[in-house]
């Protein structure tokens, strides 16, 4: 199972929006509405930010939103804040009853 494709980096100024893409295949991202997004700060465990494409766990700010079109899912962070600077990983359920993660995107707040 190949990793999902994410851009290695993205950036934005405070208050701006940044969108991260996550591209898979019809066997994972395109085949299921089971894409989730994780935020990871250095030295910390990942934190669930979005699940099932666009659902937010309780406590996650509504500045974080998810969407999907075909084989590509996206995470948008609106109103960027300094604390949003982190690595972000997408994940998808696959037809092999496995899970696959993306390679990660480092978001920098300029």
Is 90 within 8 Å of 102 (Cβ atoms)? yes
Judged on CB neighbours under 10 Å (0-12, 13-18, 19+), 96 is: exposed
Query: Is residue 64 within the footprint of another protein (CB under 8 A)?
Result: no
Measured from the CB atom, the residue of 14 and 52 that comes closer to another protein is: 52
The CB-of-69 to another protein minimum distance in angstroms stands at 19
41 φ/ψ angles, rounded to the nearest 5 degrees: -90, 155
Question: CA-to-CA distance for 93 and 77, rounded, in angstroms?
Answer: 23
Fill in the per-residue mask, 18 to 57: x = in contact with another protein (CB under 8 A), - = not in contact.
Answer: --------------x-x-x-x-x----xxxx--xx----x
Query: Is residue 97 within the footprint of another protein (CB under 8 A)?
Result: yes
The CB-of-97 to another protein minimum distance in angstroms stands at 5
The CB-of-68 to another protein minimum distance in angstroms stands at 13
* Residue linked to tokens 């989730």: 36
Question: CA-to-CA distance for 50 and 25, rounded, in angstroms?
Answer: 20
Q: Site residues (CB under 8 A) for another protein?
A: 1, 3, 32, 34, 36, 38, 40, 45-48, 51-52, 57, 89, 91, 93, 96-104
């Amino acid at each position: 199972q190949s990793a999902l494709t994410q851009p290695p980096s993205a950036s934005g100024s405070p208050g701006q929006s940044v969108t991260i893409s996550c591209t898979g295949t019809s066997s994972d991202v395109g085949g299921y509405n089971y894409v989730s997004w994780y935020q990871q700060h250095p030295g910390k465990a990942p934190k669930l930010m979005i699940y099932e494409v666009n659902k937010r766990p309780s406590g996650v700010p509504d500045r974080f939103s998810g969407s999907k079109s075909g084989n590509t899912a996206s995470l948008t962070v609106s109103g960027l804040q300094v604390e949003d600077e982190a690595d972000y990983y997408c994940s998808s359920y696959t037809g092999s009853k496995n899970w696959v993660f993306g390679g990660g995107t480092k978001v920098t707040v300029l």
